[in-house]
Structure 1
Amino acid sequence: MPVVRINAIGDTVALHRSPRSPRSVLRQTRDTQGPVIIMTHGYKYRPEDDKTCPHRHILSLHPTAMPWHCPSWPQQLGFGSGFKDEGLGIAFGWDAQGPLWAARRRAIEAGRALADLIRYLRRLNPARPIHFIGHSMGTELALEALHHIQPGSLNRIISMTGAAYQSRALSALETPAGRQAEFINVTSRENDLFDFMFEWLIQPPKPGDRSISLGLVAPNAVTLQLDCNDTLEHLSRVVFPIGDPQRRICHWSSYTRPGVLRAYNALLRQHDRLSLPILRNGVPDQPARRWSRLFALPRPNDLLPFAQKAS
């Protein structure tokens, strides 16, 4: 049982397409060796919808063929390998459709359901690390959960181009549980258009607040800008090689870029070796300015017929 499919129904949880209690299934995983990795999607996905169900796409061990590239997060994060220590994967779905403000409200509600799940997993096996990885608005679930769990309950969070405000993230990281968690803030200037739309459509908690795409300064956080050459070179040396950016605008590159999910796998499974100080030691102090990629001039090599096609 490498991956358990669970959905948030309001602020409670249910198994995906099963009447069984999630707790009865999770009890069977009590002695599973390896970490728990909770994976959640972002905007526009909705469980049970044939076209947008995340359990058929990115959260599936065997994704349904789609016209666009659809990597399996569980596979790339080490599940289904058959190794005894691969741990437990939780594919966590929630209703992320409708107007952006309504989806964000449900994300916060789903975060409380996530907190309940984390509390139960911690009671089952207190020594087992629990990590979280989420894309876009899925980051909000982890931020909300930190307000409702005990210190040490959630170990490492990877936010893939998260749709959240800086003050919201800092408030969560200042909770007792947040101070003991590590937050890896993955950003890219490829996502600038979507970050701008988020700030335009979602009212900030306070005037002048900006999204975490522009960086996050906290003792237990690090920002990794995936379209920064220095950052890519550093990650290639200490974690895993990641492909170069191919587009100027892309909302999904934080998990579709070649090698990036394998890098996250290392960050989650080798968190003691790949500490935040090691990750910081090689990346710029400040991310690049917004729109710097969109309006950058083409590189000279992009103009040569034998070079990589310009995006």
Structure 2
Amino acid sequence: MPLTHANADGPRLEDPAGTVARLRSALAEAAPDAPIAIMVHGLTYSPRTPARCPHRKLYGPTCPEAWGRRLGQHDADAPVALGFGWESRGSIWRAYARAPEAGRALAELTEIAAALAPERRISLIAHSLGARVALQALRYFAPGTARRAILLAACEFRPAAARALDCAAGAALDVLNVTARQNRLYDMAMEYGFAPGRRGHATLSRGMAGRPGWHDLDLSCATARATLARIGHPVAAPQTWVCHGATYLTPGLFDLYRSALSDASLLPRLSAALASTTPPQRPAPGTRLLPFGQRSPS
């Protein structure tokens, strides 16, 4: 699988000429109809710090948990995987405030990819605060530049997401919003840490059912997992009680995500199959979630 990278330098793309050259090379290695997956990390990463570089850690190519490997690194028909790095070290408040300018750089990268490969489907895969970056990028996109966004344990509020989607590019975007009860402690920390007591400031963990093009998938729901298996995408139950990485570490998920990159009909079929399921009750505020499992970086 062709794996390449790009970084933000504030609101601009770092080294655009080098990015173009690397992406051209990756595209030349890929199958002619392979889609492009732009991967966006969340909190605690810095492309300029080797020990926290997302291209060495989260994206691969050698880390066992890396997204590049899970997208089918050695398969001939694997997607072109483009890892996007932005400065997200420091407090969550600082990183949350910095995400919109990273979104501007992500939009620049996405437009470059669309110009180099107009025939390929482009999708965004974003975890945690990376989902905020991806959503903030939409205002700069031409409609249809990115066809789909896969948001994993998104660290964003529903009103902010709705505002970001209220543009032509947002209206043209399909979104798969993947949640898990194992991330609820982090969702609660965000809701209480950023907006204590403010009505309407729920995170995307509570979904946005009814919005056109929006598809919620709760991995904690056994019925939802059974439905996934029936449509050919078996996914294991999340394996720890508390895990910020449950939406990408759980076995079977990246087979689903990879299919979603190229199959335009998958999300509507999934939503139709899930329509009769009832989501599980989420823990009430103050519920104790123990024992702790993997506290994966975002």
RMSD: 2.6
1:245 matched to which residue of 2? 238
2:40 matched to which residue of 1? 40
Which one of 23, 36, 47 corresponds to residue 20 of structure 2? 23
Deviation at 1:6, TM superposition (A): 1.1
2:180 matched to which residue of 1? 188
Deviation at 1:115, TM superposition (A): 0.4
2:267 matched to which residue of 1? 275
1:307 matched to which residue of 2? none
User: In percent, how many aligned pairs have the same letter?
Assistant: 32
Specify whether residues 128 and 56 from structure 1 end up closer, same or farther in structure 2 by C-alpha distance, changes over 3 A only: same
**Cα contact 1:74–1:80 (8 A) shared by 2:** no
Specify whether residues 277 and 87 from structure 1 end up closer, same or farther in structure 2 by C-alpha distance, changes over 3 A only: closer
Tell me the amino acid that sits aligned with residue 43 of structure 1: L
Deviation at 1:114, TM superposition (A): 0.5
Tell me the amino acid that sits aligned with residue 22 of structure 1: T
Q: Are residue 145 (structure 1) and residue 142 (structure 2) matched?
A: no
Q: Are residue 208 (structure 1) and residue 208 (structure 2) matched?
A: no
1:12 matched to which residue of 2? 12
Residues in 2 aligned to 1:267 and 1:239: alpha-carbon distance in whole angstroms? 12
What are the within-5 Å matches in structure 2 for residues 1-311 of structure 1?
2-14=2-14, 21-29=18-26, 32=30, 33=32, 34-63=34-63, 70-81=64-75, 83=76, 85-203=77-195, 207-217=199-209, 218-269=211-262, 271-282=263-274, 287-291=279-283
Moved more, 153-162 or 115-124: 115-124
**Cα contact 2:3–2:80 (8 A) shared by 1:** yes
Equivalenced residues, count: 285
**1:234-290 CA deviation, whole Å, 9 max, x = no partner?**
111214211112222211111111111222112223x22413243342256664343
Unaligned 5+ segments in structure 1 are: 64-69, 299-311
Deviation at 1:27, TM superposition (A): 3.6
**Cα contact 2:224–2:277 (8 A) shared by 1:** no
Moved more, 162-171 or 277-286: 277-286
**1:183-206 CA deviation, whole Å, 9 max, x = no partner?**
0000111111100111223349x8
Deviation at 1:160, TM superposition (A): 0.5
Specify whether residues 173 and 297 from structure 1 end up closer, same or farther in structure 2 by C-alpha distance, changes over 3 A only: closer
Residues in 2 aligned to 1:286 and 1:293: alpha-carbon distance in whole angstroms? 21
Residues in 2 aligned to 1:199 and 1:52: alpha-carbon distance in whole angstroms? 26
Specify whether residues 286 and 147 from structure 1 end up closer, same or farther in structure 2 by C-alpha distance, changes over 3 A only: farther
* Bigger helix share: 2
Specify whether residues 147 and 287 from structure 1 end up closer, same or farther in structure 2 by C-alpha distance, changes over 3 A only: farther
SS of aligned partner of 2:266 = coil
Tell me the amino acid that sits aligned with residue 45 of structure 2: Y
Specify whether residues 39 and 98 from structure 1 end up closer, same or farther in structure 2 by C-alpha distance, changes over 3 A only: same
Unaligned 5+ segments in structure 2 are: 291-298
Deviation at 1:215, TM superposition (A): 1.0
Residues in 1 aligned to 2:60 and 2:257: alpha-carbon distance in whole angstroms? 17
Residues in 1 aligned to 2:223 and 2:168: alpha-carbon distance in whole angstroms? 33
Residues in 2 aligned to 1:297 and 1:119: alpha-carbon distance in whole angstroms? 42
Return the index of the structure with the highest Cα Rg: 1
1:303 matched to which residue of 2? none
TM-score with structure 2 setting the length:
0.87
**Cα contact 2:220–2:280 (8 A) shared by 1:** no
SS of aligned partner of 1:275 = helix
1:308 matched to which residue of 2? none
2:296 matched to which residue of 1? none
